[in-house]
């Protein structure tokens, strides 16, 4: 772990010098997509080259607020060559908080975050479904489930569970 932190520049090297190589990550919003630009430390690029075959991943995901605990988060990711310094990706939502992460997957498939940025798109707007109960039945005799059952057992001699014990 110390080796990884030293390679990323968070720890001092053996001579006690703090690595001066800086990195940055910025994102700008556009209608329907987000544009991200970055510059990574040479140590981070070396690590990506060794561990991830020179492939970076830009990942955008929405962050549910504490009151939206039932909301499923959406993740959109795209692979990028480590020699590129910018990428565009479509927005998973148009409201709420987003987290843009630049990183890579190591050989075990674990996502390692190199840089990240939180993006506020305003209060989360949740769309209510047109029909809140998707399985509502106006008339029991004409429900789609009843029709499917009748069609499937039309030529059956055995019948359904209602015929057991009679």
CATH code of the domain in which 28 resides: 2.60.40.10
Residue 22 domain flag: yes
Count of H-run helices and E-run strands, the chain: 3, 7
Residues of the chain with pLDDT > 90, as a percent, come to: 22
Residue 21 domain flag: yes
Given this model, what pLDDT does residue 138 score?
A: 58
- The model's pTM: 0.62
Mean pLDDT of the chain: 78
- At residue 125, does pLDDT exceed 90? no
Residues 40, 115: contact at Cβ < 8 Å? yes
Q: Calculate the alpha carbon distances from 144 to 98, 132, 161, 163 in Å.
A: 40, 17, 18, 21
Return the higher-pLDDT residue of 43 and 131.
43
Task: Give the residue from 82, 87, 144 showing the smallest Cα distance to 152.
Answer: 144
Task: Look at residue 4 and give its three-state secondary structure.
Answer: helix
User: Per-residue pLDDT averaged across 61-69, rounded?
Assistant: 71
Given this model, what pLDDT does residue 123 score?
A: 85
Task: Give the residue from 59, 22, 55, 57 showing the smallest Cα distance to 40.
Answer: 22
What is the rounded CA–CA span in Å between residue 160 and residue 142? 18
How many domains does the chain contain in total? 1
User: Per-residue pLDDT averaged across 112-138, rounded?
Assistant: 78
Given this model, what pLDDT does residue 107 score?
A: 84
- At residue 50, does pLDDT exceed 60? yes
Residue 101 domain flag: yes
Residue 38 domain flag: yes
Residue 13 domain flag: yes
| Per-residue DSSP letter, 166 | -
Residue 153 domain flag: no
Residue 144 domain flag: no
Given this model, what pLDDT does residue 16 score?
A: 47
What is the rounded CA–CA span in Å between residue 147 and residue 29? 49
- At residue 61, does pLDDT exceed 70? yes
Residue 132 domain flag: no
Q: How confident is the model at residue 94 (pLDDT cuts 50, 70, 90)?
A: confident
Q: Which domain holds residue 29?
A: 2-120
């Amino acid at each position: 772990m110390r080796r990884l932190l030293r390679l990323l520049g968070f720890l001092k090297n053996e001579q006690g010098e703090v690595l001066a190589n800086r990195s940055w990550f910025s994102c700008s919003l556009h209608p329907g997509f987000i544009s991200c630009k970055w510059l990574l430390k040479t140590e981070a690029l070396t690590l990506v080259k060794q561990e991830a075959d020179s492939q970076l991943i830009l990942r955008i995901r929405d962050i549910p607020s504490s009151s939206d605990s039932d909301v499923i988060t959406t993740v959109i990711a795209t692979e990028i060559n480590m020699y590129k310094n910018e990428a565009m990706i479509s927005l998973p939502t148009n409201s709420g908080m987003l987290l843009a992460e630049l990183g890579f997957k190591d050989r075990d498939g674990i996502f390692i975050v190199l840089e990240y940025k939180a993006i506020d798109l305003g209060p989360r707007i949740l769309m209510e479904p047109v029909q809140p109960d998707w399985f509502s039945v106006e008339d029991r005799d004409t429900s789609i489930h009843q029709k499917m059952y009748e069609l499937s057992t039309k030529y059956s001699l055995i019948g359904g569970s209602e015929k057991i014990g009679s």
